[in-house]
Amino acid sequence: MLSCGCLATFSVTVSLSLRIKKKRLMATKEKTVYVCTNCGHESPKWAGKCPACGQWNTFVEEVVRKEPMVAKHVAHGIEGVRSKPQCLKEIVSSDEQRIDMHDEELNRVLGGGLVEGSLTLIGGEPGIGKSTLVLQTVLRLTDKKVLYISGEESSRQLKLRADRIPHSDNADLLIACETSLEQIFTHIKNVAPDLVVIDSIQTISTENIDSSPGSIVQVRECSAAILKFAKETGTPVILIGHINKEGSLAGPKVLEHIVDTVLQFEGDQHYMYRILRSIKNRFGSTAELGIYEMRQDGLRQVSNPSELLLSQDHEGMSGVAIAGAVEGIRPFLIEVQALVSTAAYGMPQRSATGFDLRRMNMLLAVLEKRVGFKLAQKDVFLNIAGGLKVNDPAIDLAVICAILSSNMDTEIETGVCMAGEVGLSGEIRPVNRIEQRISEAEKLGFKRMLVPRQNMQGLDKNKIKIQLVPVRKVEEAFRELFG
């Protein structure tokens, strides 16, 4: 039998062990919060409307674990020099150091090259060619040591893809298949690369958060840690991200706020063309555009998209008009196709591919109200050839001319192009960069071009070889084309 002293000692020991276990359980207790996918706002309970950004049905449940404040700061093991406030006049301004990516289209969209210490996010649909674009780009950087972190594909899959790409002779390209953020930083410390590529950010996770990879909390914390590393070491990082079914980047909206540059790689998988757009760029313009052609051996840069986007065999066909469009500062000519037919059913159809459907409905209303063409009982189909999505309002004139040409079954004369924005009262409004549009039409051999009358002011007609036809209203444009 145990004595009273032994029993007391035993009870104290058991009590202390239970307290220690209780503290450990409390320290590692999971916490459930609801996070807004749009702005990252956290709430202890679910709400239909986010109080921070005002969006509806954006809260999702996440399981997190509270970490001590000290642990949060040293969680990723990145130590940097403490900064101190500086007077504005003491700060020395200079041009950003950029890395030539040996890709004219990518350099143009980035604003002249990849900035050192920047964090760039490239998003797009699955299978659109994001990994191929990045891989063939880093293979050309023979003077840089590149660390490619793959969280989706194995090293053998990357090797097979690289073998299909010509000129894949970068001996300093290192491949690591890893999804742990801590292990990624270990590889970076051992390799000391000049450029880091992470494919994709949705597969990376940190051990400090008890949540699955790709969740809002994981994407937010991993992106913040990678940004801290890029700014403190001056190493540029390229992130590859997915998009959801709504077309926006998967993960929290704060991901787009964290990174320096957001590039959208888009296109239709049924077409060969791919477009690289700049949505956000802290080191350049967001109006730039890069065009690629998808081939079996990778992506080819399209230096002159006008020649590829225009078909050469539309002579004698109605419903085709050529428009002079500008994306960013880059002009090119596109082919607008329209088909107008009698509605087979009671409700007429309206369909647009590559063009805003609401704007097309507005232009149809202008045709009916201001010009007198009755299209309310007819089906109207509109298509931008080549699978492009164009938002330039200067193609309004080509849209209504193509619709009218199909409705009358009369072709537009070969060698004629046009540019102009159509207002609600039927007037042709002036457009920007008219000189670049005219030069592009001249280069491709067009003989006549319809332009807004107000754009004729200030033009040097002696240098222009193409015949310019100024129009002020939609009726004038129709008389010039159809008599």
Instruction: Write down the pLDDT at residue 75.
Output: 45
Question: Nearest CA to 133 among 302, 305, 294?
Answer: 294
By CB atoms closer than 10 A (0-12, 13-18, 19+), residue 403 is buried
pLDDT of residue 150: 93
Contacts of 273-276 spanning 24+ positions with Cβ under 8 A: 273/302, 273/305, 273/308, 273/386, 273/387, 273/388, 274/128, 274/129, 274/133, 274/299, 275/388, 275/389, 276/105, 276/106, 276/109, 276/133
At 401 the pLDDT is: 94
| pLDDT tens, per residue, the chain with 483 residues | 445 555 444 454 545 454 555 555 444 456 778 888 777 788 888 888 888 888 888 888 877 655 544 444 444 444 444 668 889 888 887 778 899 998 999 998 998 899 999 999 999 888 888 999 999 999 988 888 999 999 988 989 998 888 888 766 777 899 999 999 999 999 999 999 999 999 989 899 998 887 778 888 888 889 999 999 999 999 999 999 888 766 677 666 778 888 999 999 988 777 788 889 898 999 888 878 888 988 888 888 888 888 777 766 677 789 999 999 988 778 889 999 999 998 877 788 999 998 999 999 999 999 998 888 888 889 999 999 877 888 899 999 999 999 999 999 999 988 899 999 999 999 999 999 899 999 999 988 899 999 999 999 888 878 888 999 999 999 999 999 987
Helix axes 130-140, 155-164, angle to 10 degrees: 70
96-116 per-position pLDDT tens digit: 889 999 899 999 899 889 999
pTM score, whole prediction:
0.74
Task: State how far the alpha carbon of 96 is from the alpha carbons of 93, 261, 328, 444, in Å.
Answer: 9, 14, 22, 37
CA 236, CA 198: separation in Å to the nearest integer? 11
Q: What pLDDT is stored for residue 233 in this prediction?
A: 92
Paired tokens of 78: 């990145």
> Is the peptide bond prior to 212 cis by the omega test (within 30 degrees of 0)?
no
Residue 167 CA to residue 41 CA, distance in Å, equals 46
Identify the pLDDT of residue 284: 86
What's the pLDDT score for residue 84?
Answer: 80
Dihedral sign (CA 396, 402, 407, 408): positive
What gap in Å lies between CA 471 and CA 183, rounded to an integer? 65
Tally of CB atoms within 10 A around 390: 19
